[in-house]
Structure 1
Amino acid sequence: MTHPTTPDGRYFVVRGRLWRCSNPTLPEGRRRALVDDLMAARSAIGTALRCGDKAAERQARARVHSAKIALGERGDPWWDDGTPDYNRHMAKNSPYADWYASLDGDR
């Protein structure tokens, strides 16, 4: 499933909520390595949960967070024009409300 992306390319929308896109200026090799790290860390969370290993779960969650910051999906916004960050806001309650309302179909 493809999620709609805001016209400025900063967010994609899932169930009405804005989620920050990865930094598009990351070199492809770096982005791929970070996504691989992210997926491995998410897998490690599942393993830790199944084993009941709280320490391993904390470490894996920290790895997820670090990868998401490096990708630009968390932390300071990757754009530098001073526009506020609306990550995790509902699209209908953001400056993207009119754009979002104009979309057709299941969002």
Structure 2
Amino acid sequence: MARPLDSDPASHSYECRSCGYRYEPAEGVAKLGIVRGTPFSTLPDNFLCLVCRSPKAAFVDVGPQNRPSGFTQNLNYGLGVNRLTPGQKTILIFGGLVLAAAFLLSFYSLH
């Protein structure tokens, strides 16, 4: 049986509801001395948003950083594209555009 996507809460990202800043546990915050891999739940209670200075209570759990985007029940559709992370989808889209442009420019080399 497959593990659920949200299986490890310590790896979840948290987003500030006021300004949209995201705390990523995998990255930490070097400016504040918070090392990589520090879960949001272990941050001090006086932790403030780096952008708007909102308190820790203003952050909401948005799930794992590299989870596939979209609804869980739809992940098995779409020829596997629905299982890609947002970053992978971006690379796929812009990679396809660059490839199409390269093919279009290659027609100039034909006589």
Structure showing the higher strand proportion among its residues: 2
Structure showing the higher helix proportion among its residues: 1
TM above 0.5, one fold?
Answer: no
Flag the structure with more relative contact order, 1 or 2, with Cα contacts below 8 A and sequence separation at least 6.
1
TM-score by length of 1: 0.23
